[in-house]
Amino acid sequence: MFFYLMAGVGLATVIFLMFLGMNPLPLLVVLAIAWLVMSMQGGRMSAGKLGQKQGANKGDASAIPTTRFEEIGGQEHAKNELKEALDFLLHQDRMLEYGIRPIKGILLAGPPGTGKTLMAKAAAHYTDSVFVSASGSEFVEMYVGVGAQRVRGLFQDARKAAKKNEKKSAIIFIDEIDVIGGKREGGQQREYDQTLNQLLTEMDGIRVDEEVRILVMAATNRKEMLDPALLRPGRFDRHILVDLPDKQARLQILSLHARNKPLSPEVSLEQVAQDTFGFSGAQLESLTNEAAIYALREGKKQLEPAHFQAAIDKVMMGEKTDREASHEEKMRVAVHELGHAIMAESVQPGSVSCVALAPRGQALGYVRQHPGQDRYLYTREELEGRIQVCLAGAAAEQLILHSKSTGAQNDYEQANRYARGLVQSGLSELGIIDPDLISKERLHETTTGILNDLYSKTEQQLMRYRALFDECTAILMKEEVLTGEEFRQLLREKTSA
């Protein structure tokens, strides 16, 4: 209403000046500047009110989570470490007896989809605390000072919500904290810096004698980007790694997500856990959901092993596509994938789960492998074996079809990464080196030598299985899928012959 009134007064004044024969341009410039300034102030006030409204909604009693640690599969080490830190919030009397200052912040760091947000909610349930959450992006605004104002409002809302619900503690959870907590660099002051400074100030202001004890929890998958002032003791006192689950943890997660699904007696979740090395908790949840969808599509009353295998392929590589390759392309893809499979079985027997010719995502075919036991360290021989598996596709094309194709591009990139890993780990002929002091030409020369030598060895090994290609290619061209057991049976027959 005020803007409309001012616009009317301005218009009347301009008309009056024109009637008197005076130039209204200076007055129009002044009015435009005044309107722009008032618009910015009004936008800032609206943003501040929006932040207060969001904070008030988050502090409602309905936001108190019911998630328990028992409902989170795996992550036993992270959960135990988090519980130990939360016990300081639960047993304040014992903490005072030993003169222990309260923990102000807990940082959960790890890859996406590993359950950091779930663990923060479980922490609030474990400590019977009010849970107030926000995302780092909510504090980023074009108006100066809005982010800092929202940080203040977040802490105020947490205290109000705790008192309203008669709780002695509150947990503030900030997801993707790297958005506002990135390293501050010299030069021009940024809006992010003001928001971070306000967060640091609020965390320093958490006092022992407050009526409501506040614990700040934050999550990030880019811990290295955070400002050192945020990571020091007294701010985020505990840094807990929430990593990708190992095989036992994957089995627990699968069991939790499969509880409400009708599984066939033939389904082995332990086998599924073994086949899903490198999967996060979110991917495992998606896997069980996709398996149920496949069963629904086929009208099956129970989830069968084939449904889980199809779900693994979909989570890893995407849904099947409608791309129809020519007969020549299919033949080349079949030979390429069989090269990978034969070398994988030579390097690590029993590792091939299936060989498929069906296009998924950007791939026209694929070989799915499982590593057996989860591995985190590799010897030179093991890395060289992985390089040979990568090169085997192109080597098989050259051996059987007498030419190569662009389908090996990703294989070469992966083989180069393994070769550089060999050099940087001190496992090459260069010995222990400082990668920063090695020229690019020397590094390229060494890695190329490793790749060329292993490519020759790969060709020689594949020549021993020349007869196997014809039989397996015929099956793939007809059925499009060759299971690991079927492939190994054919491999044993040709090897014994």
The number of beta carbons lying within 10 Å of the beta carbon of residue 127 is 22
Q: Which amino acid is at 234?
A: G
- Residue 34, pLDDT score: 63
Q: What is the pLDDT of residues 402-461, one digit of tens each?
A: 999 888 899 999 999 999 999 999 998 888 988 888 888 999 999 999 999 999 999 999
- Top-confidence residue, 140 or 336: 336
Lowest model confidence (mean pLDDT) among 40-54, 156-170, 458-472, 478-492: 40-54
For 482, the token pair is: 């060759």
Average pLDDT in the chain: 82
Three-class DSSP category at 363? strand
39 confidence band (pLDDT: 50, 70, 90) = low
| The residue to which tokens 């021009």 are assigned | 188
Strand residues in 314-434 grouped as ranges (E): 352-356, 366-369
How far apart, in whole angstroms, are the C-alpha atoms of residue 221 and residue 232?
18
- Residue 455, pLDDT score: 95
- Over 50: is that where the pLDDT of 43 sits? no
Question: What is the enclosing helix (H) or strand (E) of 482?
Answer: strand 481-483
The pair phi, psi for residue 431, each rounded to 5°, is 75, -155
- Top-confidence residue, 452 or 214: 452
> What's the predicted TM-score (pTM) here?
0.73
How far apart, in whole angstroms, are the C-alpha atoms of residue 22 and residue 29?
15
> Per the CATH hierarchy, to which homologous superfamily does domain 327-496 belong?
Peptidase M41 (1.20.58.760)
Q: Which of 402, 382, 378, 387 is nearest to 454 (CA)?
A: 387
For 158, the token pair is: 């947490």
- Over 50: is that where the pLDDT of 56 sits? no
For 133, the token pair is: 């959450």
How far apart, in whole angstroms, are the C-alpha atoms of residue 180 and residue 173?
14
Q: Which of 454, 439, 441, 446 is nearest to 421 (CA)?
A: 446
Q: What is the pLDDT of residues 273-289, one digit of tens each?
A: 988 888 999 999 999 99
Contact by Cβ (8 Å): 130, 171: yes
What CATH number should be reported for the domain whose range is 56-183+190-241?
3.40.50.300
How far apart, in whole angstroms, are the C-alpha atoms of residue 422 and residue 414?
13
- Over 70: is that where the pLDDT of 55 sits? no
291 confidence band (pLDDT: 50, 70, 90) = very high
CA 487 remoteness from chain centre: 34
Task: Map out the domains of the chain as residue ranges.
Answer: 56-183+190-241, 247-317, 327-496
Write down the number of H helices and E strands in the chain.
Answer: 18, 8
Question: What is the enclosing helix (H) or strand (E) of 4?
Answer: helix 2-20
Lowest model confidence (mean pLDDT) among 26-40, 430-444, 459-473: 26-40
For 397, the token pair is: 């094309």
Cβ burial, residue 168 (10 Å; 0-12/13-18/19+): middle
How far apart, in whole angstroms, are the C-alpha atoms of residue 417 and residue 191?
39
The listed CATH number (3.30.70.260, 1.10.8.60, 3.40.50.720, 3.20.20.370) that belongs to domain 247-317: 1.10.8.60
Q: What is the dihedral of CA 7, 13, 18, 19, to 10 degrees?
A: 130
Which member of 138, 141, 202, 337 is catalytic?
337
Residue 217: half-sphere exposure toward Cβ, Cα within 13 Å: 25
Beta pairing class for 481-483 and 366-369: unpaired
Cβ within 8 Å of residue 406, ≥6 positions away: none
Cβ burial, residue 142 (10 Å; 0-12/13-18/19+): exposed
- Residue 186, pLDDT score: 59
- Over 70: is that where the pLDDT of 80 sits? yes
Three-class DSSP category at 269? helix
Q: Which of 142, 141, 124 is nearest to 133 (CA)?
A: 124
Order across the sheet with 481-483: list the strands: 366-369, 352-356, 481-483
Is position 166 annotated as part of the catalytic site?
no
| The residue to which tokens 């036993």 are assigned | 76
